[in-house]
Amino acid sequence: MSTSRGIRVAGKKAFITGAAQGLGAASARRLAEEGARVTLADINIDGATRVAADIDAAWGAGTAWAVALDVTSEAGWIDALARADAAMGGLSVLVNNAGISRGGDIETLSLEDWKMVMSVNVDSVFLGTKHAMKYLRSNQPGSIVNISSIAGLIAGHNTPAYNASKAAVWLLSKGIGLHCAKQGVNVRSNSIHPTYIDTPILDPLRQRFGKAEADAKLGRQVPLGHIGEPADIANAVLYLASDESKFMTGAELKLDGGISAM
Ligand SMILES: NC(=O)c1ccc[n+]([C@@H]2O[C@H](COP(=O)([O-])OP(=O)(O)OC[C@H]3O[C@@H](n4cnc5c(N)ncnc54)[C@H](O)[C@@H]3O)[C@@H](O)[C@H]2O)c1
C-alpha cells in the first residue's frame, strides 16, 4: 500500500465515466490519491476493474469499484448510479468523461457516426446528470465535472460532430450549474477543455504517422510546444471536484497549452 495519501477530496464519493483508461483512469487515480472513494464506470468493464484493483492496492480495499455502463443507456445509468451509491455510501462528485470522436468532414461524415458521437458525448451528460441529481442533492456539497474539449470552443474543418458535441457539453454544463444555483442546491457544474493529451484517443493518428511524429505534429499546434499529460487534466478534475473550487460554477477551465489564447 502507498503511504502519503492526501486529503483534498477526503470524504468525497466520485463516479467517473470512461474510467478504464486515459483521462478517466488518471482522474480516478488522482481523486483516490487525495482521499476520495471512486466508482469507475465504462463499457470496458475489464479495464475499469483493473484500474479499480490498482487503486485498491494503493489505498486499501473499499476505495474503488468498477461498474459496467454504456453512457448512452438511460437504464444503464439508473442501475450504475444506484450501485455506486450503495457501494460508496453516497455520491457527491460526477465526472462525465467518456467521449469518442469519429472522422469525416461535413460532406463525408455519416449520419450514423454523427448520432453516435452526439449520443456518447452529449446524451451521456444529460442522462448522467439527470439521474445523479437525487444522489448529489443528498450528499452536498456536490460537483459535476464535464470533460468537453478545446474543440468545443474552437472548430476544425474535419471534426463537425466532435466540435458540435463538445460545444453542447460546454453550454449544458453552464445550464446545469445555473439550475442547481436557482434551486438552492450546493452542486456546482463546470467543464474542462483539454487540447491533445497523451491517451489512447490519439491512437488512430499514431498508427498513421508513428507515435513520435504524431505527437510532434500535434505539439507544433500548441504554443507550449508539446501535447499534455493525463495528470494535467486529472489535477483540474481534482480541483473542480474539491471544495477548493467552491465559488466556481457554470465556468470552464481551458487546459490547452495556450491554443485558445491565439
Ligand atoms: N486525450 C485528448 O487528447 C483529449 C482532448 C480533449 C478532450 N478529450 C476528452 O476527454 C475524454 C476522455 O478521453 P481519453 O483521451 O481518455 O479517451 P480514451 O479513448 O483513452 O478513453 C475513453 C474511455 O471512454 C470509454 N467509453 C467510450 N464509449 C463509452 C460508452 N458508450 N460508455 C461508457 N464508456 C465509454 C472507453 O471504453 C474508454 O475507456 C473524452 O470525452 C475526450 O473527448 C480528450
- For 175-181, the CB contacts below 8 A with 24+ separation are 176/129, 176/144, 177/144, 177/249, 177/250, 177/251, 178/249, 178/250, 180/249, 181/249, 181/250
pLDDT tens for 9-68 read 999 999 999 999 999 999 999 999 999 999 999 999 999 999 999 999 999 999 999 999
Alpha-carbon distance of 148 to 200, in angstroms, equals 17
Distance 20 CA to ligand 1 centre (A): 9
Q: Which of 21, 23, 227 maximizes ligand 1 atoms within 8 Å of its Cβ, making it the mutation to test the pocket?
A: 23
Distance 31 CA to ligand 1 centre (A): 18
Distance 19 CA to ligand 1 centre (A): 8
Query: In which band, very low, low, confident or very high, does the pLDDT at 160 lie, cut at 50, 70 and 90?
Result: very high
Q: Which of 27, 42, 148 maximizes ligand 1 atoms within 8 Å of its Cβ, making it the mutation to test the pocket?
A: 42
Distance 3 CA to ligand 1 centre (A): 30
Query: In which band, very low, low, confident or very high, does the pLDDT at 3 lie, cut at 50, 70 and 90?
Result: confident
Q: What pLDDT sits at residue 205?
A: 92
Is 162 among the residues known to form the active site? yes
Amino acid (one-letter) located at 193:
H
Question: What is the domain partition of the chain in residue ranges?
Answer: 13-257
What residues flank ligand 1, with Cβ below 6 Å? Answer: 17-18, 20-24, 42-44, 47, 69-72, 97-100, 120, 147, 149, 194, 196-197, 199-202
Q: What pLDDT sits at residue 203?
A: 94
Judged against a pLDDT cut of 90, whether residue 1 lies above it is answered with: no
State the cell numbers at 89: 455510501
Instruction: Write down the mean pLDDT value for the chain.
Output: 98
Q: Which of 49, 100, 237 maximizes ligand 1 atoms within 8 Å of its Cβ, making it the mutation to test the pocket?
A: 100
Distance 17 CA to ligand 1 centre (A): 9
Query: In which band, very low, low, confident or very high, does the pLDDT at 135 lie, cut at 50, 70 and 90?
Result: very high
DSSP one-letter code for 243: G
Atom 7 (ligand 1) nearest CA: 149
**Of residues 135, 162, 196, 239, which has the active-site annotation?**
162
Q: Which atom of ligand 1 is nearest to the CA of 150?
A: 6
pLDDT tens for 165-220 read 999 999 999 999 999 999 999 999 999 999 999 999 999 999 999 999 999 999 99
Burial class (CB in 10 A: 0-12, 13-18, 19+), 173: buried
Q: Which atom of ligand 1 is nearest to the CA of 71?
A: 32
Distance 12 CA to ligand 1 centre (A): 23
Name the CATH superfamily for 13-257. NAD(P)-binding Rossmann-like Domain (3.40.50.720)
Q: Are strands 64-68 and 252-255 parallel, antiparallel or unpaired?
A: unpaired
